[in-house]
Chain A
Amino acid sequence: MAEQGYNFAYLDEQTKRMIRRAILKAVAIPGYQVPFGSREMPLPFGWGTGGIQVTASIIGRDDTLKVIDQGADDTVNAVSIRKFFARTAGVETTERTEDATILQTRHRIPETRLGAGQILVYQVPIPEPLRWLEPREAETRKMHALEEYGVMHVRLYEDIARFGHIATSYDYPVRVNGRYLMRPSPIPKFDNPKMDRSPALQLFGAGREKRIYAIPPHTGVRSLDFDDHPFEVQKWEDVCALCGSGDSFLDEIVTDDRGGRMFVCSDTDYCGRRREAGHAGPTSRNGEADGA
């Protein structure tokens, strides 16, 4: 049951309508940051208020919500946001990626491929991809309008000149639909290819910065690179210690103070379901890695 005394999903209907208008504009201009009248939420700015406002504006009684942080359903902030919607909207929640109609995420895209009809809502701290190169909003808006993205290429080139390759590992800049330069939020670049032509709708909410942007389904998303330095994602020498997966994003767990460490899937739903299906990693009971 939803909490008494507050509107369904907390925000009043006027506000939801305003946010939905911003979302529609964002969908119409893929990758363009639409300013919106972000509200104070009962959770702090920087903790997912943009994503929460987007979710609150699109969620209906029949929706099933999944919330992840760092790929995991059980991190405290994911728990806190899921509880917020369970309380204020009374909607069903799930940890199973394919059962969710709306997935709110911080810092990851689930390993399980999303399908048509699903909506992925990203929590975005800093929406402006050019922000570290130009701190002024008045300037960066102009740069977007003029499609002046040379500075970003220069930055990537400087990385190559200095290190031999591009030294950005997360929040890796992309071009959406061949037009707007976009910040995918601090997901690892490992996840960038999942955004390209995804059948799911992807919405990005930055509450403190008061911006919403979107990638409509089946829209091209290209990670910036050079012909002689093509974009590539992280690879691990290890497999997941629990489920043996060799193609998921792995978190490193420090197991003791003598340099001991192990690697496990950051996506807890994916990892758990693989184990249920009988997959096992090197440290599991049978001690045999199978994945990959």
Chain B
Amino acid sequence: MYVAVKGGEKAIEASHRLLDEARRGDPSVPEVSTRQIAEQLGLAVDRVMSEGSLYDRELAALAIKQAQGDLIEAVFLLRAYRTTLPRLGNSEPVDTAQMAIRRRISATFKDIPGGQILGPTYDYTHRLLDFRLAGEGGDGSDGFAPGEQADPPAEEPVPRVVDLLGREGLMEEDCGPAAGEEPPTDITREPLRFPAGRDARLQTLARGDEGFLLALGYSTQRGFSNNHPFAGEIRYGSVAVEIVPEELGFAIEIGEIEVTEVEMVNQFRGSAEAPPQFTRGYGLVFGHQERKAMSMALVDRALRAAELDEASVSPAQDEEFVLYHSDNVEASGFVQHLKLPHYVDFQSELELLRKLRAEFEDPPAEAAE
């Protein structure tokens, strides 16, 4: 005798207990602290803050711990928290030209005002496992001696490379909003509409999944829309965030955030209205994430196809395709919703398939009821 599946509630509770156990792992191994995650898994924290659209290292570290290091799950946790926060005000646009720079390179000029600053990067490491790091820690076996620190970040503002090209007229004008223009849209409050403005596009890309944007950016380099990109400048450092409280009427600094900014310089052959010139692809993300920021800049440029009157033939140039599918919280939810029961739709399909099979095997004249 069939007994309908009951006890969903108990099953869920038991599942949560198992999850807690799995998260903790072997209890004889010391528990990892969120501070340790924030300090020593900083790049994971950066990614979660970016795609979670919330700059808070402690909460991102907590999300990573709670998600057992599943970064997309951690992004989701942070986003769900973010929606409950009140909107107190909008900051002034961040001025990245005033960035306190930790790393800054240009692939277009050998020397640039302000200089090339290599900073912390994996770029020129040899990818050899460093077994000194395999120790239990705390015994100095990792070979790290505090005090060996390199120069502190440059305090002098460093001009942006693309602005140097701009002065010569070889680079298109910065297409930021002019005074009196509509304030930028907010994709966390307003649904995307198409065609999307560049504001909505850049916001969507900034919180978009790194893997998805990496693959799309890569595809543009392999011939699925080639924009001949040069890394005009990649800079990473901290910038001040300012707000203008209504009662004061002038800007005050409320803190600093670390960002990575990428300006790609791309060829443009010109059109009937515009002379040949370089065009921009722009990337800006929280923390130190050059791979993501560069991918974003490539995709941003690819998505400008319509605006620049270029043939739009590749996936990376397809606005609805890119913007609707870049959000990993949405994508992960919908892909995994297939785990939910679909008995009813499946039953309907089963009935239909049996009917079609019966008609296939019987002469059609008789099959028609």
A residues at B contact (CB < 8 Å): 6, 10, 12, 15, 35-42, 44-47, 49, 69-72, 74-80, 83, 106-108, 125, 135-138, 163-164, 167, 169-171, 186-190, 208, 210-211, 234, 241-242, 249-253, 255, 262, 264, 266, 268, 283
**Residue of A whose beta carbon sits closest to that of B332:** A44
The residue from A72, A77, A80, A186 contacting B345, defined by CB atoms under 8 A apart: A186
Tell me the interface secondary structure of chain B in the complex. helix
Indicate if the CB atoms of B348 and A70 lie closer than 8 Å: no
B250 within 8 Å of A by Cβ?
Answer: no
A41-B80, A164-B359, A164-B364 as given contacts; A75 in contact with B8, CB under 8 Å: yes
Tell me which residues across on chain A come within 8 A of B9, comparing CB atoms: 74, 79, 83
B33 at the A/B interface (Cβ < 8 Å)? no
Query: Taking each of B83, B192, B367, which has the highest tally of chain A beta carbons within 10 Å of its own beta carbon?
Result: B83
B193–A264 touching, CB < 8 Å? no
The answer to whether A44 and B333 have CB atoms under 8 Å apart is yes
Cβ-closest chain B residue relative to A73: B8
* Most chain B CB neighbours (cut-off 10 Å) among A15, A163, A283: A163
> Chain B contact residues (Cβ within 8 angstroms of A): what range?
35 or more
Indicate if B20 sits at the interface (CB-CB under 8 A).
no
Closest partner residue, chain B, to A82 (CB atom): B9
CB pairs A–B below 8 angstroms (11 shown): A37-B188, A46-B333, A74-B6, A80-B8, A125-B337, A164-B359, A189-B348, A249-B347, A252-B347, A253-B2, A264-B2
Contact B350 A45 (CB under 8 A): no
**Interface set, chain B 1-21, CB cutoff 8 A to A:** 1-2, 4-9, 11-12
Which A residue sits closest to B351, measured CB to CB? A234
| A78 to B8 CA separation, bound complex (whole angstroms) | 9
Docked CA distance A190–B334 (Å): 25
Contacts of A264 in B (CB 8 A): 2, 4
Contact indicator B82/A40 (Cβ below 8 Å): yes
Min distance, Cβ A130 to any Cβ of chain B, angstroms: 14
Knowing A45-B330, A163-B356, the reply to whether A170 touches B4 (Cβ < 8 A) is: no
Complex interface: chain A residues within 8 A of B350 (CB)? 252
In the bound complex, CA of A268 to CA of B5 (Å)? 11
B2 touches A170 (CB 8 A): no
9 closest Cβ pairs, A-B complex: A45-B333, A46-B337, A44-B333, A169-B348, A46-B334, A210-B191, A79-B8, A35-B191, A46-B333
Indicate if B127 sits at the interface (CB-CB under 8 A): no
- Smallest Cβ distance from B116 to chain A, in angstroms? 40
Given A189-B348, A251-B347, are A107 and B342 also a contact pair (CB < 8 Å)?
yes
Contact between B84 and A12, CB atoms less than 8 A apart? yes
A208 touches B349 (CB 8 A): no
Within 8 A of A (CB), among B316-356: 320, 324, 329-330, 332-337, 340-345, 347-352, 356
* Given A45-B329, A164-B359; A70-B343 close (CB under 8 Å): yes
CB neighbours (8 Å) of A79 from chain B are 8-9, 12
Across the interface, which residues of B come within 8 angstroms of A35, CB to CB? 191, 193
CA distance A190 to B9 in the complex (A): 29
Min CB–CB distance B315 → chain A (angstroms): 12
Given A37-B191, A44-B337, A266-B343, the answer on whether A170 and B348 have CB atoms closer than 8 Å is: yes
Chain B hits for A167, CB < 8 A: 352, 356
Chain B residue at minimal CB-CB distance from A79: B8
